[in-house]
Chains A and B, each alone.
Chain A
């Protein structure tokens, strides 16, 4: 072996230098990135009226991330949750989402329980080319109001209403329908869906009785509802309004005259109302914990959530779990954090986690899934503190989702090719 001259050493060093410069230090990079976790940005109202729902959803997010990390993370990197409090204010949600993207370099954004938080987060995600996926109802699925990076695994208002309406039709509960609802934009979306499905199934739509948001006394509104002489009364209220409304509908005796259906509910509302208040009311939910007896994954999720929170998980927590899982599982599958690549892979993706099969419809990013119509139990029939309902029927599929044409999209093209 000859002596290395100064010239050969320099040549060798130059060669190594050129090779590493071209390759971008692949070995060093891989090593460094492998140690660096991928940040998942979460914006959620940790303080304010939704603080406790937020804790439940954070528990679901944590379980989903633990599951993904247990399966090797994404591209060999662990997922790290970076959580910010939206304080239930749109301007704060926007500021925190921006901070997560610009300062924390979060790969994806998830969160938002209510509409105004979702709009604020979507603005940040769309502007910065970051995927945003909502925990709350997915209500932005209209052309002109969404960008290609927006997703939401929870139900849309249309799906929720259409599922309840199809359930009424399937169960032959009656052909004359009315709605009692709070008067703001979210329930107004239900009015459109109910009246459209009523036409499709030949039911008579008698209109809506509107009560202001924050109504304490629903009694003055109930005679108008009764005067409609409907076979079915859909109630579209949320949180404290729904609890007060449920109590007073029972007091008024409306359930003796018509079938009462809460378009959507959460387990916490029945808890707040008290045992037996939701008796004989039907309610729609994206998931109900009785599904643990049908799906082993749901049982596993139930046990872990219960261990963390000492209570049965609600429907929204299950949607939160699948929101996080499908996003991270897709990134792992395509071995990339590139926004466009992950977006394309999410479009049309089929998956199954805690309930029946789900699919992200490519043309509008709506999650085609089952909605569970449940019947409220009497206090005597409840087997434990959370046993408020029995599942009566799972209603799902394309039939309860608004068509892509109806939302202004081309059904033949993925959304990412339309916007």
Chain B
């Protein structure tokens, strides 16, 4: 499960960095807001399935507001990369406090939908719940769709071209601003989707975005900044590393992902599937 969640959140982080060159510290808050939007939808309508749609759409729209209202002001400025870090870091501090003020108690109850709560089969000593199979299944469906979007559509072509050489794409007269907004919104929506599908298994709390962000940065470093395949493979590697150490040698579970990141940085600084020079830009 962890690997699937990491892939979905890290994909957005990686694509936004690849295209826009922004290390997006605000990305974790979209994951958290997705969980809250999901909780609110379930609370108001009782439908988990509606929450799966509402959360990414509303948080994606918020992503548009953040990109248009905040980030556009720093594009093209001196030290835009550093300003992006500061601005998104500020949002990552401010928005959880706004959520605390709005939603009150730290934690909202979010149950596994009744139709997915049964145990499907046993894997060794572990009961495998239908909900976990659902998470894996929905990720497996979503990833090819995203791949098609990025590889077989005009939007995807511009995103990939922009990731390689943003300046050249602008010179060709393509409306890059709109692509950036769409990319940022897509990243936010993906994180929100991950948030809402994780919510039934964890605590829906304002600080949940900060915890996952660190792991997703490690995923993108391991997989390669800006790489679709890198985010997928990195997410699976880090997720599995966490799970296997938990099962086999729990005292190392704290450090294993940092060891993995250190090893990749030493042996292949651009990450497993990263473009050369990308992380130095």
**CB of B263 within 8 A of chain A?**
no
**CB of B179 within 8 A of chain A?**
no
Instruction: List residues of chain B with CB within 8 A of the CB of A275.
Output: 109
A240, B127: Cβ atoms under 8 Å? no
**CB of B180 within 8 A of chain A?**
no
**CB of A2 within 8 A of chain B?**
no
A211, B253: Cβ atoms under 8 Å? yes
**CB of B140 within 8 A of chain A?**
no
A211, B246: Cβ atoms under 8 Å? yes
Interface residues on A, range: 35 or more
Q: How far is the CA of A251 from the CA of B118 in the complex (A)?
A: 9
Instruction: List residues of chain B with CB within 8 A of the CB of A210.
Output: 250-251, 253
Indicate whether A216 sits within 8 Å of B198 (C-beta atoms), given known contacts A211-B246, A268-B107, A269-B107.
yes
Mostly, the A contact residues are: helix
- Residues 37-79 of B contacting A (Cβ, < 8 Å): none
**CB of B264 within 8 A of chain A?**
no
Q: How far is the CA of A33 from the CA of B272 in the complex (A)?
A: 71
Instruction: List residues of chain B with CB within 8 A of the CB of A219.
Output: 1, 126, 132, 243
Mostly, the B contact residues are: mixed
A243, B203: Cβ atoms under 8 Å? yes
B247, A224: Cβ atoms under 8 Å? yes
Nearest chain B CB to A315's CB is how many angstroms away?
16
Q: How far is the CA of A269 from the CA of B97 in the complex (A)?
A: 19
**CB of A306 within 8 A of chain B?**
no
**CB of A371 within 8 A of chain B?**
no
**CB of B170 within 8 A of chain A?**
no
**CB of B171 within 8 A of chain A?**
no
A220, B251: Cβ atoms under 8 Å? no
Stretch at the interface among A12-20, A45-53, A96-104, A359-367: A45-53
Q: Which residues of B contact A (CB under 8 A)?
A: 1-2, 5, 97, 100, 104-112, 119, 124-127, 129, 131-132, 198, 200-208, 211-212, 242-244, 246-247, 250-251, 253-254
28 A-B interface contacts by CB (under 8 A):
A51-B100, A52-B104, A209-B250, A212-B253, A213-B254, A216-B201, A217-B242, A221-B250, A221-B253, A223-B125, A223-B126, A224-B247, A224-B250, A239-B203, A240-B211, A243-B203, A244-B202, A247-B200, A251-B127, A251-B129, A253-B119, A268-B105, A268-B107, A271-B105, A272-B108, A272-B204, A273-B109, A274-B111
